[in-house]
């Protein structure tokens, strides 16, 4: 299957889905505190989907049982919400998606609850900025792995972090996961050329230790094998007809973070 090319009208629907995702993630970020359970966070997301007349894309995805993923500390991604209260100093990673009129949005962030360990904060900042570096490299006419290379290069410039190898970003549109798979590491200049109308979810996942992971018996939760803490950030972006990007799941479309990297965002959406 080829990479799905979206029209401007379709990307506008993806923006609506992306805004539901971005706004819900902001509400969840505010709610994350020591003592709160990740099941409570899931409930907040369920309510916000209803308010926005949006559908969940995670729920029942290959049998997944919630509308968010909530991964704590050495859990890096795909953690299932539960009734364990978040503890002071925990790293909490929330991944969330929504569907509007058949079009998907998907994004994630990590945050520290309560007392901040500076090394944990550096892990999060490195992961987040690598996502923006990846998106900034996703220009019309560039090659897919220019994104991968930019992500890895930035992460390695910041210290010794493990970059997960089994998981990566993806095309997004009428399904949450489409072609192409977007690695978070590797040589530049390979893969398909990036074209107007493509939409990609960029999602680096890193640890303070080794990149080796295992999946828990719940068949979802991805943890680091060495117990090191992880971070995960994700945004979905598209390339518009003016050859400029727009970050569909970011409240400001990526204006601030891409602007800081010298990239102007599209004003077509």
What track of x and - describes contact with Co ion for positions 66 through 105 (by CB under 5 A)? ----------------------------------------
What letter does residue 120 receive in the DSSP assignment? H
SS3 state of residue 199: strand
Among 110, 107, 153, 144, CA closest to 128: 110
CB of 96 to ligand MF3, least distance (A): 7
For residue 194, which of 252, 143, 264, 269 has the smallest C-alpha distance?
Answer: 143
Among 74, 75, 90, 106, the residue binding Co ion under the rule CB under 5 A is: 106
Residues in contact with Co ion, total (CB under 5 A)?
2
- Interface with ligand MF3 (CB under 6 A), residue from 234, 245, 248, 249: 234
In the complex with ligand MF3, which residue's Cβ is closer, 179 or 241? 179
User: Is residue 55 close enough to count as binding ligand MF3 by CB under 6 A?
Assistant: no
Give the span between the Cα atoms of 131 and 242, in whole angstroms: 22
Answer yes or no whether residue 128 interacts with ligand MF3 by CB under 6 A. no
HEC states along 46-105? HHHHHHCCCEECCCCHHHCCCCEEEEECCEEECCCCCCCECCCCCEEEEEEEEEECCEEE
**Footprint of ligand MF3 on residues 24-43 (CB under 6 A)?**
none
78 binding partner (options Co ion, ligand MF3, none; Cβ < 5 to 8 Å by kind): ligand MF3
- Nearer of residues 81 and 171 to Co ion, judged by Cβ: 171
Among 58, 154, 233, 246, binds ligand MF3 (CB under 6 A): 58
Under rule CB under 6 A, which residues in 185-224 are in contact with ligand MF3?
A: 201, 203
Tell me, rounded to whole angstroms, the distance of Cα 263 from its chain centroid. 20
* From ligand MF3, Co ion, none, interface partner of 69 (C-beta below 5 to 8 A by class): ligand MF3
Please say whether the beta carbons of 146 and 193 come within 8 A. Answer: no
Q: Is 112 helix (H, G, I), strand (E, B) or coil?
A: strand
Positions touching ligand MF3 (CB under 6 A) are 58, 61, 64, 69, 78, 95, 97, 106, 201, 203, 234
């Amino acid at each position: 299957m080829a990479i799905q090319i979206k029209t401007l009208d379709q990307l506008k629907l993806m923006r609506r889905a992306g805004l539901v995702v971005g706004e819900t993630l902001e509400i969840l970020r505010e709610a994350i505190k020591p003592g709160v359970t990740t099941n409570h966070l899931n409930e907040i997301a369920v309510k916000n989907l209803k308010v926005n007349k949006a559908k969940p894309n995670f729920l029942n995805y290959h049998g997944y049982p919630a509308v968010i993923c909530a991964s704590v500390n050495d859990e890096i991604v795909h953690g299932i919400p539960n009734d364990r209260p978040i503890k002071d100093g925990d790293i909490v990673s929330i991944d969330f998606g929504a569907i509007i009129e058949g079009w998907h949005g998907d994004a994630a962030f990590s945050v520290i609850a309560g007392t901040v360990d500076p090394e944990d904060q550096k892990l999060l900042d490195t992961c987040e900025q690598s996502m923006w570096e990846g998106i900034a490299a996703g220009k019309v006419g560039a090659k897919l792995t220019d994104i991968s290379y930019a992500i890895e290069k930035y992460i390695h410039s910041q210290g010794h972090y493990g970059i997960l190898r089994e998981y990566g970003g993806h095309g997004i549109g009428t399904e949450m996961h489409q072609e192409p798979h977007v690695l978070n590491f590797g040589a530049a200049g390979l893969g398909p050329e990036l074209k107007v109308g493509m939409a990609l979810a960029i999602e680096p996942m890193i640890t303070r230790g080794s990149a080796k992971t295992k999946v828990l018996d719940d068949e979802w939760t991805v943890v680091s094998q060495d117990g090191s803490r992880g971070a995960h950030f994700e945004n979905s972006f598209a390339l518009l007809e003016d050859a400029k990007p727009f970050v569909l799941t970011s409240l400001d479309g990526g204006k601030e973070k891409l602007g800081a990297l010298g990239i102007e965002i599209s004003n077509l959406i």
